[in-house]
Amino acid sequence: MNNAPLFDAPIAVLRHALDTKAISSVELATLFLDRIEALDSALNAFITVERERTLAEARAADARIARRESGPLTGIPLAHKDVFCAEGMLATCASKMLSNFTSPYDAHVVALLKKAGAVNLGKTNMDEFAMGSSSETSYFGPVVNPWKPGHVSGGSSGGSAAAVAARLAPIATGTDTGGSVRQPASFCGVTGIKPTYGLVSRYGLIAYASSLDQGGAFGASAEDCASLLAAMTGFDARDSTSLDRPAEDYAAALAAAPVDAARPLANLTIGLPREFFGDGMSGDIRAAVDAALAQYRALGATTREVDLPNARLAIPAYYVIAMAEASSNLSRFDGVRYGRRAAEFTDLADMYRKSRGEGFGAEVQRRILIGTYVLSHGYYDAYYLQAQKLRRLIAGDFRRAFGACDLIASPTSPVTAWPLGAMRNDPVQMYLADIYTTPVNLAGLPGISHPCGFDASGLPVGLQLIGDYFSETRLLTAAHRFQQATDWHLRRPALAA
């Protein structure tokens, strides 16, 4: 069926191996735990790994498999971004503020995956409170790109992306507020999908910017992402923006034979936004993206130009809205209601000041300050309200564009993974690198990033496909057909070979 080593096997192969008793879930979990132990000191992809807890979950999965009660993910190991709460485990959000916080409950996503019998390998490293594009702001140190030591993994879900790329976990959860699933997927050469806003419950997901935050899935392929995403979605009354929709069987849609095998994407029109294909993208990325689009055409798809005239304003709009919401969401971490309290202080105000001053890193503090500023009297209308108007205009651009195409393609990022520390003193430069991903969150649309080549230095390049609301099946199917015809998603960094 597949000759890859088991740690590099697709979920379908792992499923088969578990069901035929070729391997037990305990053995499979041990294989990945041993890889984490051997390799993660070089990557720093994980914050928390608890071998005994993982093995206990694997034993329970084996018992279910023995009783023939297993579902698609029963006994399959996975990793969770440390933004998700899991009962009895640390949930740090990569912040000193929560470095000693053990969650008393499961996030909805964690509960769903537990119920499905998936085995939790541990919690992955990330940017502090999911604020960043490089996973360098973590209190626990930066995540290293598995393809090139000394380079960032992308962010904020860099630990999950690096773990899947290095095959320390077959699949992993992430969250995407402005690109945090798609961009690290692109930097690490894996596939990542952020669904339509509201499809994945935010209950138990430590909030950054609530109107933008959305859970997503990482895998080596669109097929593996489909298996994970299907298990993560579902209505949850505890999240007021959770959508009550019938579940979709993504895996079945991918497995269905196309009408025209030679041209499986014959009915697909891909829009290419003029504004995204102008300047500002590196030559290597342009070449990889152009080749990927040629491949899509070879599979039968049609490409045509579309316009997203307001997309260039996505960065300022996104950063105003995200920081405004962050300043509100993070006010709860005051050393009283939530978060670590400073050891020494003189009075109440000093206690708040010291707890927040010591608990939050520089980037988080910067965002709370800017967010508070744009919400303050006199500036609200000038910044926050303007940003909300832009948000509406950007969503309108997409609505019009989807009148002329089924999916929209772009690079996931205008650059490949930069050297660690390269943007330390220039946060705005880092914000600008989110140009292709943030418009998607502002509109609440689904997007996927899949590998489509490498730059001259051997770092992965990702192609982003954006869909209309609830077009997850179409996005996953398009990426799957691309992956059936290409092998970019099968390339591995040396340490996972």
Q: How far apart are CA 253 and CA 251, in angstroms?
A: 5
* Paired residues of 454 in beta bridges: 460
Which of the ranges 49-57, 108-116, 128-136, 462-470 carries the binding residues for ligand GLN, by CB under 6 A? 128-136
User: How many Cα atoms within 13 Å fall on the side-chain side of residue 482?
Assistant: 31
The residue annotated as part of the active site, out of 138, 156, 186, 410, is 156
**Does residue 449 touch ligand GLN according to CB under 6 A?**
no
Which of the ranges 44-52, 172-180, 327-335, 416-424 carries the binding residues for ligand GLN, by CB under 6 A? 172-180
Decide whether 132 or 439 has the Cβ nearer to ligand GLN: 132
**Does residue 221 touch ligand GLN according to CB under 6 A?**
no
Task: Classify the C-alpha dihedral 98-99-105-111 as positive or negative.
Answer: positive
H-type helices in 1-121, by residue range? Answer: 11-19, 25-43, 51-66, 108-115
**Does residue 130 touch ligand GLN according to CB under 6 A?**
yes
Least separation in angstroms between residue 409's CB and ligand GLN is 20
Which of the ranges 177-185, 198-206, 228-236, 413-421 carries the binding residues for ligand GLN, by CB under 6 A? 177-185
Q: Contact at 8 Å (CB) between 317 and 442? A: yes
Residue that has been written with the tokens 């899949």 in this structure: 450
**Does residue 180 touch ligand GLN according to CB under 6 A?**
yes
481 Cα distance to chain centroid: 21
Give me the DSSP letters along 369-432: HHHHHHHSTTTIIIIIIHHHHHHHHHHHHHHHHTTT-SEEEEES-SS-PPBTTTTTT-HHHHHH
Count of residues interacting with ligand GLN (CB under 6 A): 13
Asked, as a colleague might, if the bond just before 156 is cis with ω within 30 of 0, I would say yes
The residue annotated as part of the active site, out of 24, 157, 180, 227, is 180
**Does residue 264 touch ligand GLN according to CB under 6 A?**
no
Measured from each CB, the residue nearest to ligand GLN is 180
296 Cα distance to chain centroid: 24
**Does residue 176 touch ligand GLN according to CB under 6 A?**
yes
Give φ, ψ of 442 to 5 degrees.
Answer: -60, -35
Residue 218, SS3?
strand
The residue annotated as part of the active site, out of 24, 25, 70, 81, is 81
Decide whether 175 or 233 has the Cβ nearer to ligand GLN: 175
Residue in 322, 390, 466, 479 binding ligand GLN, rule: CB under 6 A:
322
Decide whether 25 or 437 has the Cβ nearer to ligand GLN: 437
Residue in 159, 178, 184, 460 binding ligand GLN, rule: CB under 6 A:
178
Least separation in angstroms between residue 412's CB and ligand GLN is 12
180 is a catalytic site residue: yes
Which of the ranges 27-35, 178-186, 260-268, 412-420 carries the binding residues for ligand GLN, by CB under 6 A? 178-186
Tokens of 465: 């496909």
| Nearest C-alpha neighbor of 79 from the set 109, 41, 105, 42 | 109
**Does residue 177 touch ligand GLN according to CB under 6 A?**
yes
**Does residue 131 touch ligand GLN according to CB under 6 A?**
yes
Residue in 117, 159, 179, 198 binding ligand GLN, rule: CB under 6 A:
179
| Nearest C-alpha neighbor of 233 from the set 221, 224, 242, 222 | 242
Q: Contact at 8 Å (CB) between 213 and 207? A: yes
Q: How far apart are CA 394 and CA 315, in angstroms?
A: 11
| Nearest C-alpha neighbor of 194 from the set 204, 181, 207 | 181
Residue in 92, 133, 135, 221 binding ligand GLN, rule: CB under 6 A:
133
**Does residue 132 touch ligand GLN according to CB under 6 A?**
yes
Decide whether 206 or 496 has the Cβ nearer to ligand GLN: 206
Task: Draw the binding track, 187-216, toward ligand GLN (x: CB under 6 A; -: no contact).
Answer: ---------------------x--------
| Nearest C-alpha neighbor of 95 from the set 300, 253, 330 | 330
Decide whether 179 or 192 has the Cβ nearer to ligand GLN: 179
375 Cα distance to chain centroid: 28
Residues 416 to 435 in contact with ligand GLN, rule: CB under 6 A:
434
Least separation in angstroms between residue 170's CB and ligand GLN is 23
Residue type, position 218, single letter: F
Tokens of 242: 């959770």
Least separation in angstroms between residue 188's CB and ligand GLN is 15
Chain residues binding ligand GLN by CB under 6 A are 130-133, 156, 176-180, 208, 322, 434
**Residues with catalytic annotation?**
81, 156, 180
